[in-house]
């Protein structure tokens, strides 16, 4: 796939898409119907179909700041045994696409996980001779301290929160993800546990956006008078800008996630901030603008 890039002052942001999907709302959302999607006509053509399905993707962002190459979230990954058939034992071109964009794995300095869900940590590791080893051997892997204290447990039942147990087991694969995508990084001594407001570079800082998971963070970029933010899963789709009450089935704390989303919209709405939705389909980046007492996403 062709990589897209943007400039925020002196910072370069590049998107590497692992996969795209068109889904009915019942896959990922608790309280959303196709009829509601169709009423939000501003979502078409980039983010919704005319029959009320949602268009989304799984992607990583490479952020170049002050000589550092930072990859934000690492998608699903290849060769991983997963309960979700669409993510099971993938053999995709992600690493080739990453290298083609100018970022071979050995050139990455920092791996930054907004949270530790299955579709954000997969390329942390690759399978070599039957062993899971770090994909980015020269990088420091930044895991949120609050996030790790939560997901470091080996059981789903103790940590599912508002997530339905069947969904947790059939999609999230927490124990398997821990073993094949997180533990090998810790065993290799490449991880660093960081606070929710950690300063990565002078231009890149974490911002706490809890709810989807207890230690979820977004990534704020500020450079040469320009600003941007990478959402992570604080929101999964632009429809949650127009309808911020819409909750993901994978939110650990639904009420907190809704509150965090509303706070985010107040903070960044009608401001000159470029918003990158981690699961937003191409064209991915845009601005939150007010409309009729609420908000919409206007592509850049």
pTM of the model: 0.96
Nearest to 209 by CA among 166, 267, 169: 267
Token pair 């407001």 is at which residue? 197
Q: Under CATH, to which class is 4-299 assigned?
A: alpha beta
Contact 93, 101 (CB under 8 A): no
Domain ranges of the chain: 4-299
Strand-pair partners of 192: 142
CA distances from 253 to 25, 158, 212, 250, 256 (A): 19, 14, 6, 9, 5
Q: Closest Cα to residue 69, out of 128, 20, 16? A: 16
pLDDT value of position 229: 98
Q: Cβ of 49: how many Cβ atoms within 10 Å?
A: 16
Which has the closest alpha carbon to 106: 138, 66, 145? 138
Q: Which residues pair with 19 in a beta bridge?
A: 58
How does pLDDT run across 72-87, given as a tens digit for each residue? 999 999 999 999 999 9
Instruction: Report the distance separating Cα 63 and Cα 221, nearest Å.
Output: 9
Question: Which whole number is the average pLDDT over 248-264?
Answer: 96
Quote the pLDDT of residue 4.
Answer: 96
User: Averaged over 179-205, what is the pLDDT?
Assistant: 97
Q: What is the mean pLDDT of the chain?
A: 95
Question: What is the rounded average pLDDT of the residues 44-64?
Answer: 98
> How far is 124 from 137, CA to CA, in rounded Å?
10
Cα 21 from Cα 142, distance rounded (Å) = 28
pLDDT digit string, tens, across residues 96-128: 999 999 999 999 999 999 999 999 999 999 999
Selection from 274, 230, 238 nearest residue 115 by Cα: 230
């Amino acid at each position: 796939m062709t990589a897209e890039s943007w400039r925020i002052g002196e910072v370069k942001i590049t998107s590497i898409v692992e996969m795209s999907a068109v889904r009915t709302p019942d896959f990922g959302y608790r309280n959303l119907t196709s009829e509601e999607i169709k009423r939000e006509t501003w979502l078409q053509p980039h983010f919704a179909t005319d029959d009320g399905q949602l268009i989304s993707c799984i992607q990583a962002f490479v952020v170049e700041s002050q000589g550092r190459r930072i990859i934000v979230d690492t998608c699903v990954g290849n060769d991983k045994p997963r309960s979700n058939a669409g993510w099971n034992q993938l053999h995709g071109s992600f690493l080739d696409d990453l290298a083609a964009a100018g970022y071979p794995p050995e050139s990455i300095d920092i791996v930054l996980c907004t949270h530790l869900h299955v579709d954000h940590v997969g390329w942390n590791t690759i399978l070599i001779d039957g062993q899971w080893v770090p994909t980015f051997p020269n990088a420091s892997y930044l895991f949120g301290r609050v996030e790790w204290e939560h997901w470091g447990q080996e059981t789903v039942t103790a940590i599912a929160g508002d997530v339905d147990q069947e969904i947790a087991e059939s999609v999230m694969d927490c124990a398997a993800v821990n073993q094949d995508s997180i533990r090998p990084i810790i065993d290799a001594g490449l991880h660093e546990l960081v606070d929710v407001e950690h300063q990565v570079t002078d231009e890149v800082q974490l911002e706490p956006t809890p709810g989807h998971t207890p230690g979820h963070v977004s990534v704020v970029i500020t450079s040469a008078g320009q600003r941007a933010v990478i959402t992570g899963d604080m929101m999964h789709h632009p429809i949650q800008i127009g309808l911020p009450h819409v909750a993901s089935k994978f939110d650990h704390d639904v009420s907190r996630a809704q509150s965090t989303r509303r706070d985010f919209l107040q903070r960044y709405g009608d401001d000159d901030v470029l918003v990158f939705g981690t699961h937003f389909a191409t064209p991915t980046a845009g601005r939150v603008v007010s409309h009729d007492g609420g908000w919409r996403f206007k592509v850049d």
